[in-house]
Chain A
Amino acid sequence: MSTTLDVVCPGCDGKVSVRSTVMVTEIVECGECRGELEVVATAPVVLALAPEVEEDWGE
């Protein structure tokens, strides 16, 4: 059965409620700042801001 967890939003320090069954790479939204957050760990749950740096590439 899925319960909910309160996790700190890295964008505004508000509380974000996520399902305990949340999966890595899922995107959740902070109800306070409306920021999109990526689940990067589940044990414990860690939410991260989207990366802003684009990768370089070469041949």
Chain B
Amino acid sequence: MSRLAMLGGEPAVPAGTPAPEWPVVTNAERAAVAEVLRSGRFTGVAAGEQEIPALEREWAGRVGTAHCLAVANGTVALSLALCAAGVAAGDEVIVPALSFVGSALAVAHLGAVPVFADIDPVTFNLAPHALAAARSARTAAVLPVHLHGLPAEMDEICAFARRHGLAVVEDAAQSHGVAYRGRVTGSIGTLGAFSLNASKNLPTCGEGGLVTTDDDELAAQVGRMRQFGEDIPARGERPYLSRSIGWNAKLGAIQAAFTRRQLARLDEASRARDRAVRPFLDRVAALPGFTVPVCPEDREHGWHILRFRVRAEAFGLPGEYAPALRPAATRVLRGEGVPVSRYQSVPLPEQPVFRDGGVAHRATDVSVCRAVVDDSFVIQRAQLNPGTGALLRRFADAFEKLWANRDVLVAMARSSRTDAPVPSLAHTDPLGH
């Protein structure tokens, strides 16, 4: 049995191994950005600017919607989509309890009320059975999040929404070009909202977002709201007339140019990532101590984030030790060179902005979400580079090494609990040095 790196052994990922590049920046991106700089056409209202409308056409074509509107970031994409869908101050929007806080802040920015619903313990997405308890007479929309790149249960969610006359705004910030039962995320609900943040599967060189819809009028509203409430004619003079309260939420031309070159490689990169990630997960799944991300056969997975749950019982500990095993596993894996982290430390209703900040919200029973947050950790970004297969094999080595040394984790977990047994002075070296 090899010695854990944190106890002096050789790390599974050799020291000095460079972190995989993401986004991958090629000469195509450099040339496209340089061309925008040369042109002097930096925003969508610059005469002759073509990168932004070209990105919108190409993304609408990839997603399969009639329209795409490029905006400043993913959070404002959600706000604009919700606003266009008719969500107004005082309305309620059902949001899964596990997501990046932007999913909920996008609702709050409209003066609307996020209502947090529980998640599925396996997919980590909004649990359809939680919708009924979250709905009220004030509910205006459901905001399913395709968390970590796995499409949510859209058929069930959309059926619920239809029954109750609710809009569905997909938070597809982590699921670019991912299929669900023959359709692509962002084309299934009333509107879809994407992030182009540099960490995303479809990134830009900074911040950006995209809104998709089939509805002509909703598209026109989003276009107006990103531009001070103005309708900008395709040609001719700008009238400088605002028809509604709008934001300034446009995407820049440099960001659009960068993303278009990323989009040209999106599908190839997604296939390569899928080929690299699945064998890695298979190896970790063979270890009884962890559950790994799943991908049902009726959909794809973008593998934007890989979330692992710790199974305390497999370590010979009661289930209540899982929250103590998680940081122990994190500590061990990071020692081995695996960049594991948490990605959300509390359910959304426990974020200080909601819990202590007086921002209107409502929560239903989110006990599954709390358990997942407590007993899981993630790998993010490292697996995005399509050439990361060799590194993921090292990561699998690290998980297997951890499992072989699970007695150390058990000692760590026991020691971190206040009701832990009194330390045994007879055993001071768990590895028998």
Contacts and interface: CB of A to CB of B under 8 A. Distances in A.
A48 B339 contact: no
Nearest to B342: A55
Contact of B428 (A13, A45, A58): A45
Majority-rule SS of A interface residues: loop
A56 B200 CA distance: 13
A49 B7 contact: yes
A59 B415 contact: no
B428 A43 contact: no
A11 B349 CA distance: 43
A13 B433 contact: yes
A41 to B, nearest CB: 4
A41 B415 contact: yes
B6 A58 contact: no
B382 A56 contact: yes
Interface residues of B, number: 49
B429 A48 contact: no
A1 interface: no
Interface string B43-80: 00000000000000000000000000000001000000
Name the prevailing secondary structure of the B interface residues: loop
A7 interface: yes
Contact of B425 (A3, A11, A52, A58): A3
A5 B424 CA distance: 11
Contact of A8 (B5, B341, B420, B429): B429
B430 A46 contact: yes
B340 interface: yes
B426 to A, nearest CB: 8
Contacts of B74: 59
Contacts of B339: 53-56
**Interface size class of chain A, counting residues whose CB lies under 8 Å from the partner chain:** 20 to 34
Interface stretch (B90-98, B220-228, B243-251, B406-414): B406-414
A3 B426 CA distance: 13
A24 B433 CA distance: 21
A5 B430 CA distance: 13
A53 to B, nearest CB: 5
A10 B7 contact: yes
A58 B415 CA distance: 31
A40 interface: yes
A44 B6 contact: no
B414 A43 contact: yes
Looking at B382, B416, B421, which has the most chain A CB atoms within 10 Å of its CB? B416
Contacts of B296: none
A40 B412 contact: yes
Contacts of B380: 56-58
Given A41-B414, A46-B411, A51-B334, A59 B423 contact: no
Contacts of A56: 19, 339, 341, 379-382
A59 B104 CA distance: 13
A44 B428 CA distance: 5
B427 interface: yes
Given A41-B411, A44-B423, A58-B100, 15 more contacts: A7-B428, A10-B6, A10-B8, A20-B425, A24-B415, A40-B328, A44-B424, A44-B428, A52-B337, A56-B339, A56-B382, A57-B199, A58-B197, A58-B343, A59-B199
Interface of A: 3, 5-11, 13, 20, 24, 40-49, 51-59
16 contacts: A5-B425, A5-B428, A10-B7, A10-B8, A13-B433, A24-B412, A24-B415, A41-B415, A43-B423, A44-B423, A46-B408, A48-B6, A49-B7, A56-B382, A57-B199, A58-B381
